[in-house]
Amino acid sequence: MSWQIDYAHSHIYFTVRHMMISKVRGRFEKWEGSVVFDENNPEDTAVNVTVDVASVNTREQQRDDHLRSADFFNVAEFPQMTFKSTRVERTGDDTAKLYGDLTIRGVTNEIVLDVEYAGQAKSPWGTFSAGFSASGTLTRKDWDLTWNQALETGGMLVGDQINIEVELELVKQPESTPA
């Protein structure tokens, strides 16, 4: 079954500790992807996403510019990060683990996202949508994102653990009839 990502209702968020005492939340504004989803065989799901890293938005221009610099994402050399799923493991009726390769700054590592299927709904316009939430944690140093600064009070300015949250709404595409 063919599905299209509804970008107006889909988001990629991240959270990281700041100065060991608070969390900074951000998102990526520009990304694209494809999802092959067979509701009868969810284990056959395939996900490919490409993120325009320069579109990072933490609501603080100086921080966003620093994230784009060679200290972090180095968008001049690595303008995109990618995720390509490798397998799906069902963990319940509406839950699964999505395994995939995440490439940032030319470094690829496997990550695992916990996925929850929220079901389907028919819109007032007659289309059918399916909803998914995914979350996971990665250690930024695994992708050579090592910049940091020691704090006078102990600890570091930027946490090592990055929490990822994805909200995804897919719109079922009409079946095409052979010519």
Residues 127-147: pLDDT tens digits?
Answer: 999 999 999 999 999 998 888
Tokens 């972090």 sit at which residue? 72
Classify residue 100: in a domain, yes or no. yes
Which residue(s) pair with 27 in the sheet? 13, 57
pLDDT for 27:
97
The angle subtended at Cα 13 by Cα 9 and Cα 19, nearest 5°, is 155
**Residue 31: how many other CB atoms lie within 10 Å:** 21
For the chain, the average pLDDT equals 92
Residues 12-42: pLDDT tens digits?
Answer: 999 998 888 889 999 999 999 999 888 888 8
Integer Cα distance of 28 and 117 in angstroms? 22
pLDDT of residue 1 exceeding 80: no
Tally of domains in the chain: 1
Classify residue 86: in a domain, yes or no. yes
Classify residue 179: in a domain, yes or no. no
Residues 92-116: pLDDT tens digits?
Answer: 999 999 999 999 999 999 999 999 9
> Which residue range(s) make up the domain with 58?
3-172
**Better-scored residue on pLDDT, 153 or 141:** 141
Predicted structure pTM score: 0.90
**Better-scored residue on pLDDT, 17 or 52:** 52
Closest CA to 31 of 64, 15, 55: 55
Integer Cα distance of 89 and 166 in angstroms? 18
Classify residue 19: in a domain, yes or no. yes
Classify residue 31: in a domain, yes or no. yes
Tokens 């316009």 sit at which residue? 125
Classify residue 32: in a domain, yes or no. yes
Classify residue 10: in a domain, yes or no. yes
Classify residue 159: in a domain, yes or no. yes
